[in-house]
Structure formats: structure tokens, C-alpha cells
Amino acid sequence: MPRQTRARIDLNALRGNFRLARELAPGTHSMAVVKADGYGHGLEAVAQALTQETDCLAVATLEEAQRIRQVGLSPEVVLLEGVHEPSDWRLVVEGRFQPVLHSLHQLEGVDCVPGNGAVPVWVKCNTGMNRLGLDAEGVETMVLRIRETPGLEVAGLMTHYACADDTADAMTGEQARRMRAISREFPGLPVSAANSAAHFHGNESHFDWTRPGIMLYGGTPLIGRRGPDLDLRPVMKLESRVIAVRTLAPGETVGYGATWTAEQPTRMGIVEIGYGDGYPRHAPNGTPVAVDGCRCELIGRVSMDMIAVSLEACPQAGVGSSVELWGETVSVDEVAQLSGTISYELLTAVSPRVPRLHESGEEA
């Protein structure tokens, strides 16, 4: 029998989360962000499901954009980091992608673009993130250069928020104000600014095109919250099974480093998943793990291929019992918080060893 460790992907929940994003930002358009293999959920299946809801997707790399075309999908595809080499322009034209330009050097090689206004490009504005983007004067130069380049047209202006994960942080409002000031110089150009987190701020931060990512996958974009608190549905269920059971006597320890010691006789199960599958090695003792639907606790260190779980909360569990590492019963945000990280990292780190099973299920 093949290993029973896998990630079930609920594509209806994905589409439901997209619709919630739309409701939170009325009057806007949305590009659904599917970079990093659809945040670990499988790019092709996620792209396919989301193109039923929107005709614009966003990715980080040319390779990701090409994978969307290779399965025969024809949405608009925005390249969030644009082009890196002059030769990338030919691939942009072939794939009809929309690069985001953050620097004049990216225009090298653009002369291979056929001169019929074919390629829409976005201009990245730096409003305080200080990662990619041009300041106000740089934006002006860039827009002029694009407008005088045959074959290019300006699709819009883009910026990115640094602190939107905290709805009380004043920086989002300040960045929105700077973006508004820049865009006043370019009447008619649409603006894209809102990541998932900004959907939970007021509409002054939404602008014309939103870019929801993590919320589509059911993870919280807001610190200190969990997806279900925000009415987001979990999309990935990471599951495995119990492959061995033993009872520890008081004083016995579990696993590498002997970091957990039984205080009383403890029935425990070994589960066939570990950090080699992307389960976080930093998950501490007590991290919830659902066995046969009841919440049990991780004990001892996470190994590469296995973890140990106390079965004291689930006496009927045994070899073959089903295990949910995250999904409906245990929120991926809860595991992330306990492990000192964010669901973005856990979801994108599920390793290629874990098969993704895509399911459309019943409409909720």
C-alpha cells in the first residue's frame, strides 16, 4: 500500500475564499495570486479552479506563468517581479504575460516586442516597502519610457503594503496616501495595492485591482488571527496515519534528544509524516494533531519521516487511524503560530514527496 501521507485540496473552498475576497473589496477587480506552486496547493489545479472566478492571475516567475499556459489556460498572467534578462521579453510576448517593471534596466531587450501595443506592463511604485519599486520621479520617467516604446502600454501602477497584517498599523494608510499622490499624476491609470491583509482594512487601501494570495488558501493574513476567525475556509488538509502504537512507562522519553518524558503511563502513536514532508521541525510539544477527528498532542521532536503523538485524548485510536496535521480540525495558522512562523511558510513548504489530491466536492 502506498504511503498514506497526502494533501487533500478542496477547490470549492478555494473558490469560496476568492468570492469572500471579492465581497470584502466591492467595486474592485482582482488578480488571484498563485505563485509558489499556488502557495503549495498545486499551481495547475489552483489556476484552473480560479479561472472560473477571475480572468487574471499573478505569479512570481516566468516558469510559473508558462506552466499556466502549458495546461491550456488563457487568463491574463501578471509577472510580479517582471523580467530579469533581455531575452525574457521574447517569452513575455509568446506567453502574452504582463510584467511588472520596477527599474529602467528591465526595458533592455524590449526592442524584440512587435510594435503594435501588444504588451501591457505594470509600473511598480515604492511607497515604503523598500523592496522593489520606483519613487515618484522614477515612476514618471518609467511611464514616459513605456509610452514611447512601440509595443508596450501601461496597464497600471502597483505598490505593496509592508504592515497590512496589523490592522492598527498606521503605515498602510500612509502608503495608500503616497500611492494616491503618485497616481494623481496619471489620470486614468488603474492602481493595484491590496494584498490579502488589506482586504480587512477600509476601502481607502483597496484601489482598483486587489491581489489576494494567502486568504484564497484559507490562511490568515492578519497577525494573531486564524483563517476560520475571518470566515476563510481551509483549502489544504494535510493528512497521514498512525503506523505504530506503544505505551510509555513513567520516566521514558520519546525521540531525538529525548525532549519529552512521560509522567504517567502514556499510549502514543507514531505517524508517518515529518519535516521531510514539510511538517515544521520547530513544532513544539503539545502542538495539536487530530487523530480520528480528536485533537491530540505532538510529543517529542519531529523527525524527517515520523512524529510521535500522545493518544491519551483518543483511546480508541490505533494502527491505521487517520491523522490530520492541519485542515478543518487543526488550523494551519494554529500550527504556524506555535512553530513561530506563518501559514504562508508551512503551506509552501509541503514537500514534493506529498501527493496533492484535488477535490471539487459538493458546493457548501
Ligand X SMILES: *Cc1c(COP(=O)(O)O)cnc(C)c1O
CA distance 206 to 317: 48
Catalytic residue among 124, 161, 237, 256: 256
Residue among 129 and 294 whose Cβ is closer to ligand X = 129
CB 331 to ligand X: min, Å? 17
Active site residue 256: yes
Residue among 57 and 323 whose Cβ is closer to ligand X = 57
What are 115's three cell numbers?
510594435
The CA-atom distances, in angstroms, between 16 and each of 145, 148, 364 are 41, 42, 9
Residue among 197 and 270 whose Cβ is closer to ligand X = 197
Supply the DSSP symbol for 30: E
CA distance 121 to 88: 14
Question: Are 119 and 98 a contacting pair, CB within 8 Å?
Answer: yes
179 annotated as belonging to a binding site for a ligand: no
What are 11's three cell numbers?
477547490
Residue among 159 and 240 whose Cβ is closer to ligand X = 159
Strands 97-101 and 76-79 turn out to be: parallel
Choices 145-153, 193-201, 256-264, 356-364 (CB under 6 A): range interacting with ligand X: 193-201
Residue among 196 and 337 whose Cβ is closer to ligand X = 196
CA distance 155 to 210: 14
215 annotated as belonging to a binding site for a ligand: no
Choices 110-118, 195-203, 321-329, 348-356 (CB under 6 A): range interacting with ligand X: 195-203
CA distance 150 to 114: 8
Residues 216-275 that bind ligand X (CB under 6 A): 221
Per rule CB under 6 A, is residue 343 in the interface with ligand X? Answer: no
CA distance 28 to 4: 42
Per rule CB under 6 A, is residue 210 in the interface with ligand X? Answer: no
Q: Which of 75, 82, 212, 300 binds ligand X (CB under 6 A)?
A: 212
What are 182's three cell numbers?
503618485
Please tell me the count of residues contacting ligand X according to CB under 6 A.
12
Catalytic residue among 35, 124, 279, 344: 35
Q: Is 246 helix (H, G, I), strand (E, B) or coil?
A: strand
Q: Is 184 helix (H, G, I), strand (E, B) or coil?
A: helix
Taking residues 19 to 58 in sequence order and writing x for each that binds ligand X by CB under 6 A, - otherwise, the string is --------------x-x-----------------------
> How far, in whole angstroms, is CA 114 from its chain's centroid?
34
Question: Are 240 and 276 a contacting pair, CB within 8 Å?
Answer: no
Active site residue 217: no
Closest among 152, 144, 92, 93 to 120, alpha carbons compared: 152
Per rule CB under 6 A, is residue 213 in the interface with ligand X? Answer: yes
Residue among 225 and 267 whose Cβ is closer to ligand X = 225
Q: Is 219 helix (H, G, I), strand (E, B) or coil?
A: coil
CB 354 to ligand X: min, Å? 21
Taking residues 75 to 94 in sequence order and writing x for each that binds ligand X by CB under 6 A, - otherwise, the string is -----x--------------
Binding residues: 131, 304
**Footprint of ligand X (CB under 6 A):** 33, 35, 80, 160, 195-197, 211-214, 221
Return the active site residues: 35, 256
Binding residues for substrate: 131, 304
